[in-house]
Structure 1
């Protein structure tokens, strides 16, 4: 619920306690009337429809290994139909960047909406057709795809009729450095032939997955290490694609979407399936990963808020008493609640700043802010979820709450879309670039200081 008294005219984002009144005051004037109305509808839809359906969704995932990867929980299609009828669809695509297919929302406006969906687990985002990896793949097609590619793949993705996978990470190499990618892409006549071994390919296990967008090495001898890669579109039923297994994260396989190990053996597709052109792979993935990183951060804020909400209800459950006290009467619990509140609010402002920078420039111009968010937010959310798990005792690490699954997902984000170390290194290098100007400023200040001391008849440092 809200973070304080609620007035009749308060927006649902305040009344339902999504963000604090202070945070909303900072950004409210940047929200259009359409965005405010859409945000209100997202709040109501997630709270009243998605969150209550969470247990049904989990129950409808088949436990039978023979059907686990073939059955999609029916409730998600029901939620998608309702969201679409409410106009809560493809909200992540901003018309500013994608005028022909986008929604009239800025990244800042969508940031708060994504946070709301993060409270409802990954399937709440899917209900609005705003879930990874489809979001990034739609952006690739919208930004770099030709008209034929858009018609064949983007349109059904936008309609929520199919799902997709992005095949980039590989076994046996350090994929955090994408120049290491070994999957071979070569042209033979009017065909492209692909051979490689990928893993952690999210969405590839889904029976609705009809497209793999794959990054491989097409020109290994190019003098520029960032011109050696290309992106190709591969229909999921193309001969030569072998899904080896679904990978697990702390025991979770995330069926039916999954994160799969895949071997591509002499996979052949038409030359027209090349995206943009040969050697454009790095340019495309940078355009794809920037927005995707911030979307993950937005949803993670919501996940952290949901974990804190659970901690609050657990701490105030009068049936749970230790050493003669309710949990909230113990100082350590109160301190953990306070730390969580402060960390979430700090991280949110960083994410909103990054989203605003994307709107003011573009993803490339906001890379510093995006990188900081990508490091800070998952780490923060993990700490908040961990505290909530601790407050729940053994219940917090079992299947009876969503906390353990949330922890597994958030821990994965410290690798996904670039590990922490890569972002930290980039941020540090950007900071070091400021040193030259700082030295110049310091020297200027020292010269002026010497002049002031001389004019005052004071010997340098004699007053110290």
Structure 2
């Protein structure tokens, strides 16, 4: 197992680090100030400026191996860097969730017509998309629970049901939704679900509200959706009827690497801010950095980040070698381990910053809420712990 960067990945890393210093970090305050006085879901113009600059530098669509030419392991290091500025850096590179997962789905399973209509504008950064699986009335940690109905009537599918926590839906650039529902409620548990493409302007489709995350409205939003006799042509089906669960699992493997590494980028930035604060702030006659309890918090944070990063890189390496199925245990593990560690590190940084840590004068508060939410989205910790336990126990129970 070799985690050394290839020359190509090292070149991208150097270009991205320079781009972050020269363009992304200076844009953070511009982004925040614009959102403070405008529609919270409108896109600050500075993001389009960053996208144009990133594309000019060749920092574009790096997440998709067939386009960027990077393996999951190589891209992981770049995803970590973008996580240091999570609101704008991933989108500047057209490597933001949920679009990356949706582009992977269309790339792997879409028809030529679907790719032309939706994948191409997504790859060009012209539109955005959403992935609609989670529902308010059932425990969506079990994907077989979903109740949305997708019924074929002639040359159309008729869709009825509700979804919520659908990331990206509040942004008017979100033009297409990949929607998961049941086409065969009486079939085998993992063949009941299918996925269809629903354009934003389809009659009967309503964005009910944007949900806050710890009182915050993200620019792209996390919305509740209602589908009332929504009709789409059968050509909007992705792959075949009954393939929905399979597609959802294929979508999650690389995406978990991206999420985990971005979270580690947040943790690294939090540790950096923690060290600077400890060195600069004087209390009781000496810098905080001279206090043993602060030194321990810094050391614990460094050790935890290193452990989590190594596990995530191992997982990326396994996906490259054996596919997501061959890394199932590790994918579940990083989904639990990384958000926990990032949450702990950011929490320590907040504590050392005192009152400034819970304000928006630093990025810590926003990072804190996001990594806490990570312990719920894409499946709560308990589901992944259950998966790990079953894998460990299997040899002893067979």
Q: TM-score range by the shorter chain?
A: over 0.9
CA distance in 2, matches of 1:122, 1:78: 14
Partner of 1:43: 17
Show the 5 A alignment for 1:42-441.
42-61=16-35, 63-64=37-38, 67-69=39-41, 71-95=42-66, 102-222=67-187, 224-255=188-219, 257-317=220-280, 320-435=281-396
Query: Could you tell me how far 1:48 is from its partner in structure 2?
Result: 2.1
Question: CA offsets, 1:193-244, max 9 Å, x none?
Answer: 111111000000011100010001111011x111100000000111111111
Question: CA offsets, 1:364-394, max 9 Å, x none?
Answer: 2111111111110000000000000000001
Decide whether the 8 Å contact of 1:205 with 1:260 is kept in 2: yes
Secondary structure, in 3 states, of the residue corresponding to 2:150?
strand
CA distance in 2, matches of 1:244, 1:62: 23
For structure 1, which segment, 40-49 or 421-430, has the greater mean C-alpha deviation from structure 2 after superposition?
A: 40-49
CA distance in 2, matches of 1:420, 1:269: 35
CA distance in 2, matches of 1:122, 1:166: 19
CA distance in 1, matches of 2:319, 2:346: 28
Query: Could you tell me how far 1:436 is from its partner in structure 2?
Result: 6.8
What is the TM-score with the length of structure 1 in the denominator?
0.84
Deviation >4 Å, runs of 4+: none
CA distance in 1, matches of 2:301, 2:145: 38
Where structure 1 has 5 or more consecutive residues not aligned to the other structure, the ranges are 1-24, 96-101, 438-464
What is the TM-score with the length of structure 2 in the denominator?
0.98
Structure exhibiting the larger radius of gyration computed from Cα positions: 1
Give the number of the structure with larger relative contact order, counting CA–CA contacts within 8 Å between residues 6 or more apart: 2
CA distance in 2, matches of 1:436, 1:237: 52
Where structure 2 has 5 or more consecutive residues not aligned to the other structure, the ranges are none
Answering whether residue 8 of structure 2 is matched by residue 27 of structure 1, we say no
CA distance in 1, matches of 2:359, 2:299: 25
Change in Cα spacing, 1:188 to 1:62, as seen in structure 2 (3 Å) is: farther
Query: Could you tell me how far 1:26 is from its partner in structure 2?
Result: 5.2
Decide whether the 8 Å contact of 1:122 with 1:131 is kept in 2: no
